[in-house]
Structure 1
C-alpha cells in the first residue's frame, strides 16, 4: 500500500453467475450473460449483443492484478447500469438488486482492503428501494447506492421519488448517479453518440434536476456524486443561473444553481486537463473524486491520470482527488485501509 491512498471510485462489476431472469420470467428484456470463453462474455438483451466484456468485469483476482499494475489501492465496485432494469415488475427488480448487492458484498468481504461496494435498488418502487437500501448498507456493509439518472423517464426531482432521497439523507447513505436510458436515444444511433453525447447530456439533466428541486435546502446531509464529471453541467451552470434570475416563478431554491452545484460531488472522468481545471474552478477541489469507468473501453487508465497531468494542483490537492475525497464521500476511515 503506497503512502498516499489511490481510490478508483467509478468501476463496474457483474457476477460470472449473473442471474438469468429472462429465462425465469420468460422476458427477453432482462440483460443476461452469455460466456464466450473462460475470459470473456457478452451481455445480451432481446437476443442482441449489448456489450462485450472480459473477466476483468467479474474476477477480483484479475482486477487486483490491474490495480497493482496501475497503482490503485482500492476500487469502488458498482453494478453495470444496464442492469438497473427500472422498467421491470418491482418484485422482480428487487430480486435483481438483491442478487447484485449480495455478489458485491461477497467480493468486499473477501478482499476488504482492496474493494468497497455500492449497491443498487429497485427505484420503480420507492418503498422497496428504501428497504433494500437499508439491507444493503446495514446488513451487507455496502457503503452507498448507485442510481440511474432517470426512473422510467421521471427526472430525479419527481415528487414520487423524494421519499427515497429523504431516507438517504436521514440514514447518511451516499448516492452515485450514473447515466442510463439517455434522453434523445432515437437520435443517438449513429457514431456511438449515446456514450459520447447522450450520457453527458443525460447526466447534466439529472444533476440540474437535483440542483433546481430545492432538495439540497431540505436535506443538508444528502451526499450525491455524478458520473463523468457531471457531464455537460459545468458548462451549463451560467445559463442555469441566468434562468433562475430572470424567471423567479421557477425558483424552488434559496440561492442560484451555481451555489448548489458546489455541494455535489463529481468523478474526474473528463480525460482533459482543461476540462478538469474548469470543474475545479466551478466546484472546488474537495468535490472531485478520481474515477475511471474500469473496465470498459471509455475508461481512463490509470484512474486519475488527468489529475496527475494537471500542473496547477498541489500534492495535497491531488491527494484529495485521488483518495481522500472518496473516503469523505463514502464516510470511510482512512485507517481501515492502511
Structure 2
C-alpha cells in the first residue's frame, strides 16, 4: 500500500463463500424464470442487479476495471445489503467471521491491489469488539465497517467499548448507509419509489450520523478515534449553517460546542470519502473540512460509480491521505 498512488476506499464486494453464512437470512443468489438475477437477504429480494460475472464477485474483472480507471489499490468493504445489524447475534457473528475470512483470502491473492475492511456484529458490543480484534490482528484487515443505523444511537454509551477497541488497535472506523428494511425496521414509505432510499435516504443517514457523533460527544470521549464517513458526509455540507446554529441556540447543545466555529472544528476531526457528483459540492466539502481529511471513494461498479478524473490531480493527493488514515507507510 505504501507505493500505491490512487487508493479507492469505497468499493463494495460480494463474496461467494458468504452465501448462506447467516442461516435463514442468506445471503442467496438466484435467477427468476426469465433469467434475471436476484439477491436475497431474509425476506428482501434485490432484483435485476448482477453480482456473478461482475467486478463485485470476479476479482480478475475488478482488477481490469481498476486498471482502466487508473486505480492502484482498492479497500474492499461489505455489501450494504449484508450488514446484518438487526438479525440475532449468533447469525450475525457467523456471517461476519465467514465474510472476513473470505475477504482476507481474496486479499492474499492480490496483495498489491486489494485491501479490506471488516464486517462486525455491531448489535452486540462485545462480539463486535472481539471480531474487530480478530479481523485486524489475525487477518490483517484495516478496520471495522458498520452502517449508519446500528439499532441504537451512534453516541450510545453502550458503544463506547467498541470505539475504545478501535482506537486502541489504532485503526479507522468506516461508516456507510444501508437501505432501511433489509434486515431491520422499514423506513419512510416515501423513500420506496424512484430509489429515493438510496438517492436521498443515504445522504440523510450520513448527515444524521455526523450530527450524532459531534453533538453526542463521541469525538470528545474518544480523541484518538478516526472515523470516515461515505459520500462526503451526505447532506452535511448543505446543512452546515443549521448544524452550527443549533450549537448556539438549542438547549441540549453541549458546552464544548457553544461557541463560534466549534461545530466546524469538530467536523474537521472526521474523515470523508469524496464520492460526490458535482464540482460545486466538492468545492464546498474542501472548504468545510480541508483536503487533509478527504480520501478517494468511487462506489466502484455501483450504479453511481464516480470517476477519479472528477478530482483530477487531487486523486493522488487523496491517496496520500488514505495512507495516513489506513496507517500505511508513506
Distance 1:188 1:275, change over 3 A: same
Distance 1:42 1:184, change over 3 A: closer
Q: What residue in structure 2 maps to residue 49 of structure 1?
A: 45
Distance 1:186 1:305 in 2: 36
SS at match of 2:119: coil
Runs of 4+ in 1 over 6 A off after TM superposition: none
Count of equivalent residues: 316
Distance 1:4 1:21, change over 3 A: closer
Q: What residue in structure 1 maps to residue 316 of structure 2?
A: 319
Is 1:290 equivalent to 2:296 in the alignment?
A: yes
Q: Is the 8 A contact 2:41 2:82 kept in 1?
A: no
Distance 2:200 2:73 in 1: 29
Unpaired segments of 5 or more residues in structure 1? Answer: 309-314
Distance 1:285 1:17, change over 3 A: same
Distance 1:283 1:83 in 2: 30
Distance 2:255 2:231 in 1: 26
Unpaired segments of 5 or more residues in structure 2? Answer: 181-185
Is 1:60 equivalent to 2:59 in the alignment?
A: yes
Is 1:229 equivalent to 2:248 in the alignment?
A: no
SS at match of 2:282: helix
Distance 2:122 2:177 in 1: 14
Say which structure, 1 or 2, has more relative contact order (CA 8 Å, 6+ apart): 2
Pick the structure with more helix per residue: 1
Q: Once superposed, what is the RMSD of the aligned Cα atoms?
A: 2.2
Q: Is the 8 A contact 2:232 2:275 kept in 1?
A: yes
What displacement does 1:319 show? 2.5
User: Mean Cα displacement is larger for which, 222-231 or 162-171?
Assistant: 162-171
Is 1:299 equivalent to 2:305 in the alignment?
A: yes
What displacement does 1:46 show? 4.5
Q: Is the 8 A contact 1:149 1:155 kept in 2?
A: no
TM-score, length-scaled by structure 2: 0.89
Distance 1:151 1:64, change over 3 A: same
User: Mean Cα displacement is larger for which, 11-20 or 108-117?
Assistant: 11-20
Instruction: Please list the CA deviations of residues 223-270 of structure 1 after superposition, one character each: whole Å capped at 9, or x if unmatched.
Output: 111111110011212211111111254316456221111111111111
Distance 1:253 1:120, change over 3 A: farther
Is 1:8 equivalent to 2:8 in the alignment?
A: yes
Distance 2:159 2:83 in 1: 16
